[in-house]
Structure 1
Amino acid sequence: MQSNSFHPAEVVLQPYPTAPERLTPGTEINAALLWKRDDGSEVGAVWEMTPGVLEGIHGDESFVILSGRARVDFPDGRVLELGPGDAAVLAPGDTCRWTTLETVRKVVVFRLP
């Protein structure tokens, strides 16, 4: 990994492979890898999702919403309402549903097993 900077609103994104049964038909997810730790334990990315639902998210990420609005629902009834400037952490082991209300772009750090 090398020190660097970027402008997340300008990063060009590519389609992010997602199992179609987890996603509302017509919803798109795109992302761009920004960095990866040399030991493979974390990656940083810009991630974007158009309006719709993504099922079966398994936490272990931290992110800041750059634009758009989303709702994250947990099976125990907790809800995160997120918009521009909000930061959040999805804890390891938490399962949730991500509902994008307005196309969301976020900068995210995924911790990998």
Structure 2
Amino acid sequence: MTSIPTAAFTLHVPTAELVADPLDPAQIVSGTPEVSGLVLAESATGETGIWQITPGVATDVEADEVFVVLSGRATVVVDGGPVLELGPGDCGVLRAGDRTTWTVHETLRKVYTITH
């Protein structure tokens, strides 16, 4: 993903232009989900950014992450854990190593922070 300069700035997140970040085809379970994003800040301890995925089903192995959904809807199944129903305004927490399956019902956009 592309980064924005580290100087102070503001950005209207719902309309921010994101950069395509193609999924590994092995992650796609069904449909044609497309991922895009924009890293807003990064350091040795993590990153903060905007992430978006279009409808479809894809798998992932997560990092330690906190996020807030701005728009869209998805169901995230954590292997051996909970089923997360996500929609606008929801805050989620994922743990490093969580294996997830994302079923995206409506294009989902979130702001996230990942810690290393």
The TM-score, its normalising length taken from structure 1, stands at 0.86
Whole-Å separation in 2 of the counterparts to 1:111 and 1:17:
22
Give SS of 2:51's match: strand
Give SS of 1:9's match: helix
- Please, which of 72, 75, 88 is the counterpart of residue 71 of structure 1? 75
Corresponding residue of 2:42 = 36
Whole-Å separation in 1 of the counterparts to 2:50 and 2:8:
17
How far residue 58 of structure 1 moved from its aligned partner, in angstroms, is 2.0
How far residue 92 of structure 1 moved from its aligned partner, in angstroms, is 2.1
Kindly report which structure 2 residues correspond to 1:88-99, keeping only aligned pairs within 5 A, or say none.
88-99=92-103
**Amino acid in structure 1 at the alignment position of 2:35:** I
Corresponding residue of 1:22 = 27
Native 8 Å contact 1:45 1:108 kept in 2: yes
Whole-Å separation in 1 of the counterparts to 2:110 and 2:49:
8
Kindly report which structure 2 residues correspond to 1:39-50, keeping only aligned pairs within 5 A, or say none.
40-50=44-54
Matched, 1:104 2:108: yes
RMSD: 1.6
Give SS of 2:26's match: helix
How far residue 18 of structure 1 moved from its aligned partner, in angstroms, is 2.1
Identity between Structure 1 and Structure 2 (%): 37
How far residue 108 of structure 1 moved from its aligned partner, in angstroms, is 0.8
Whole-Å separation in 1 of the counterparts to 2:115 and 2:104:
22
The TM-score, its normalising length taken from structure 2, stands at 0.84
Query: How many pairs align?
Result: 110
How far residue 3 of structure 1 moved from its aligned partner, in angstroms, is 4.2
Question: 4+ runs of 1 displaced by more than 6 Å?
Answer: none
Corresponding residue of 2:87 = 83
Unaligned runs of 5+ in 2: 1-5
Give SS of 1:21's match: helix
